[in-house]
Amino acid sequence: MYLYNSATRKKEEFQTHTPGRVEMYTCGPTVYHFAHIGNLRSYVMEDVLEKFLRWSGYDVDRVMNITDVGHLSSDADTGEDKMLKGARREHKTVMEIAQYYTDAFFADCAKLNIKIPDVVQPATGLIPEFITMVQGLLDKGYAYVAGGNVYFDTSKLSRYYIFNEHDEEDLAVGVREGVEEDGNKRNKADFVLWFTKSKFEDQALKWDSPWGVGYPGWHIECSAISLKYNGEYLDLHCGGIDNAFPHHTNEIAQSESYLGHPWCKQWFHVHHLVTPEGKMSKSKGEFLTVSLLEEKGYDPLAYRFFCLQSHYRKALVFTWENLDNAQGAYNKLIARIAALTPGGGEVDQAVLQAQREKFAKAMGNDLNTSLGVTALYDALKVKANDETKLAILADLDRVLSLSLLEKAAAKREADAKAKESSAASGGITVTGEGDPAIDALVLQRAQAKKAKNFAEADRIRDELKAQGIEVVDTKDGAVWRRV
Return the residue of 31, 53, 87, 222 that touches Zn ion, per CB under 5 A. 222
Going by C-beta distance under 8 Å and a sequence separation of 6 or more, which residues neighbour residue 325? none
Other CB atoms within a 10 A radius of the CB of residue 362 amount to 19
- Choosing from 5, 16, 30, 355, the residue that interacts with ligand AMP (CB under 6 A) is 30
Spatial distance between the Cα atoms of 427 and 449, rounded to a whole number of angstroms: 13
Q: How far is CA 292 from CA 71, 348, 407, in A?
A: 26, 43, 21
Task: Give CA–CA dist 41/272, Å, rounded.
Answer: 8
The length of the chain in residues reads: 483
* Among ligand AMP, Zn ion, none, residue 240 binds (CB under 5-8 Å by kind): ligand AMP
Q: Which stretch binds ligand AMP (CB under 6 A): 4-12, 22-30, 201-209, 254-262?
A: 22-30
Q: Give the contact letters, 261-290, x = binds to Zn ion (CB under 5 A), - = no.
A: ------------------------------
Binding ligand AMP by CB under 6 A: which of 22, 64, 236, 270?
A: 270
Cβ(9)–Cβ(61) below 8 Å: no
Pick 153 or 251: Cβ nearer ligand AMP:
251
Residue 116 DSSP SS3: coil
Decide: is 308 part of the binding site for ligand AMP (CB under 6 A): no
The option from ligand AMP, Zn ion, none interacting with 257 (CB < 5 to 8 A, set by class) reads: none
Please identify, using beta-carbon distances, which residue of 36 and 358 lies nearer to ligand AMP: 36
Angle at which helix 300-308 crosses helix 320-338, to 10 degrees, equals: 100
Of residues 223 through 242, those in contact with ligand AMP by CB under 6 A are 239-240, 242
Contact string (CB under 6 A) for ligand AMP, positions 101-130, x = contact:
------------------------------
Q: Decide whether 40 or 137 has the Cβ nearer to ligand AMP.
A: 40
Q: Are the beta carbons of 210 and 115 closer than 8 angstroms?
A: no
Q: Quick one: residue 237, left, alpha or beta (phi over 0 = left, psi -120 to 50 = alpha)?
A: beta
Q: Which does 222 bind (CB under 5 to 8 A by kind): Zn ion, ligand AMP, none?
A: Zn ion
When binding is defined by CB under 6 A, the residue of 42, 226, 230, 255 that contacts ligand AMP is 42
Q: CB 78 → ligand AMP: shortest distance, Å?
A: 16
* Among Zn ion, ligand AMP, none, residue 419 binds (CB under 5-8 Å by kind): none
Please choose which of Zn ion, ligand AMP, none residue 39 contacts, taking the beta carbon within 5 to 8 angstroms, the exact cut-off set by kind: ligand AMP
C-beta of 106 vs 395, nearer to Zn ion: 106
Q: Which of 445, 404, 442, 184 is nearest to 299 (CA)?
A: 404
Nearest to 76 by CA among 180, 174, 175, 194: 174
3-state secondary structure of 265: strand
* Enclosing H/E stretch for 474: strand 469-474
Residues from 52 through 91 that contact ligand AMP (CB under 6 A): 67
Rounded least distance, CB 27 to Zn ion, Å:
3
Nearest one of 228, 227, 203 to 214, comparing CA atoms = 203
Which stretches of the chain bind ligand AMP, using CB under 6 A?
Answer: 27, 29-30, 38-39, 41-42, 67, 239-240, 242-243, 270, 272-273, 279-280, 282
Which stretches of the chain bind Zn ion, using CB under 5 A?
Answer: 27, 222
